[in-house]
Amino acid sequence: MNPLLTATATELAAKIAAREVSAVEVAQAHLDRIAEVDEKVHAFLHVDTEGALAQARRVDSGEFTGPLAGVPLALKDVIVTKGVPTTAGSRILEGWVPPYDATIVERMRAAGIVVLGKTNMDEFAMGSSTEHSAYGPSRNPWDLTRTPGGSGGGSSAAVASYQAPIGIGTDTGGSIRQPAAVTGTVGAKPTYGGVSRYGLIAFSSSLDQAGPCARTVLDAALLHEIIGGHDPRDSTSIDAVVPPVVAAARQADVTGMRVGVVTQFKGDGYQPGVLARFDEAVAMLEKLGATVEEVSCPHFDYALPAYYLIAPSEASSNLARYDAMRYGLRVGDDGERSAEEVMAATRDAGFGAEVKRRIILGTYALSAGYYDAYYGQAQKVRTLIGRDFASAFERVDVLVSPTTPTTAFTLGERVDDPMAMYLADLCTIPSNLYGGPALSLPCGLSDDGLPVGLQIMAPVQADERMYRVAAAVEAALGSDKLLARAPQL
Amino acid sequence: MTTAITRDDVAHLARLARIAMTDDELDHLAQQLDVILGAVARVQEVAAADIPPTSHSLDLSNVYRPDELVPSLGAEAALDAAPAAEDGRFRVPRILDEEA
């Protein structure tokens, strides 16, 4: 394979800065790779060839400098891009061309990052497999009969199949970390409020957070630092400097750190090969100089049910904006039907089964008579999960668990069984409810030959800790070499 | 507390959510919602009366910004993606009944 494709983002940026290779050559190599393999993977919904090459030429003219200048990126299609189609994986936004850029898109452009195109995802980020995309599923580069996880399966599959060295995902209940785990890549959910949500198409506003996908921990940290930081256009953005994630990824030393193993995330329902790789990673942390202890977080057992009340409730409100009036799909406007009838017909035609399921579930949970028993109770569980994290972080610096209970599942296996699908996010949801950062990196292959993810969870605004631990594990286990063992496409 | 959810319940919720579902969709969803609600009702096992709710992980309220004029999108860009536009405005289906 062309070495420009297998290089890390850090290496590419250094070569471009040293003029050993042009940004245009790097962009073209990746566009060629997309043309060659994406028919099989289906990571991209839209490839922006002209836009990518134009940005690469600006990098080559010396307009941008920085640690990722000239590096190509795969952007999840839930982030709005001025002049470039944005669908959020939904039929209701088919053909929509946004009139503005998300803050993180502005920041990436200013840093000289080259956006190759928009990647596939479960509709409105609701799902764990990309099978709920209106445009067909993406496939896992490790085994094309399996899903690359979701909702951000497109970005992770693109990174895992060398179509882009880095990507952007969004994580409401695990949509960055779970795809990273099952594709053998790195994915990080920053602290809630650490990265601007301006221009991130809303699913569940109190949980949604954009973050980096990459093949190495350092590349993820570099991208995190570029997209992070306060944005006055997002009123939930934290007004503080970005935690020192790049320095932490370079430090890669866990000597004296206290690591807590979450006792709730093991046992029945976990694949033996997943638990074996996880235990080895924990043993490695101890060998590297960390102290390890078991930490019980009893309310984590209730995170999944709380999430499946809170997220659909917020979604039922957020998705009310797709009303067929101002943008997006409109069907049935025959001059006879009322606005309300057109709205209802459009939403029936434009939303897929999972989105409808969650809107109806959220509408129910927020209904008079049920609010206290469902949404209200879920919010109390959210408090208790936050308390579990707070007491855990009095004893340890980070918590660890498997990222997912199993390796990648096969296409079609769970698509008609919502509860089975929801279990894919069992271990990732608590950090969303708490608001803290969490990262997944590869820690080996399970008995089925598929990648296993190690999840590292840190306290709110202590994102650097997870990068420090992840970089140490990566160096010790050779996690960044794992993808070389994936089959050729 | 779990209550069996009926097809009529789902039809009512679909009306509230402005989604014109077919009969088949309503039947299928009623069965699935029953299963999902049975599972998520587990939140009722734990949370006690003295626990305050959390709506948001950040301790933020009333975030202000300076009240300054900044350029906005402009009517042309805002109407660009409209399903129908007329005279610089969004054109929408009738919003009142004929007899109203």
pLDDT on residue B3: 60
Under the banding of pLDDT at 50, 70 and 90, the label for residue B36 is very high
CA separation, residue A227 to residues A167, A211, A348 (Å): 12, 8, 36
Q: How far is B89 from chain A (nearest CA, A)?
A: 10
CA separation, residue A425 to residues A173, A179, B71 (Å): 6, 10, 41
Mean pLDDT rounded to a whole number for chain B: 89
In this prediction, residues B61-73 reach a mean pLDDT of 88
- B1: pLDDT strictly greater than 60: no
Q: How far is A484 from chain B (nearest CA, A)?
A: 39
pLDDT on residue A450: 98
What residues of A are annotated to the active site? Answer: 76, 151, 175
Nearest to A232 by CA among B63, B71, B42, B56: B63
Closest-CA residue in chain A for B89?
Answer: A326
Nearest to A361 by CA among A302, A300, A310: A310
User: Over pLDDT 70: what percentage of chain B?
Assistant: 92
ipTM of the complex: 0.94
Q: Is A337 on the interface with B (CB under 8 A)?
A: yes
Q: Are B79 and A326 in contact (CB under 8 A)?
A: no
Q: Are A34 and A117 in contact (CB under 8 A)?
A: yes
In this prediction, residues B60-84 reach a mean pLDDT of 90
Q: Are A17 and A42 in contact (CB under 8 A)?
A: no
CA distance A423 to A431: 15
- B99: pLDDT strictly greater than 70: no
Q: Is A330 on the interface with B (CB under 8 A)?
A: yes
- B100: pLDDT strictly greater than 50: no
Residue whose tokens read 């496939």: A139
Point out the residue among B19, B58, B90 whose CB comes nearest to the CB of A193: B58
pLDDT on residue A186: 98
> For chain A, which residues score pLDDT lower than 50?
none
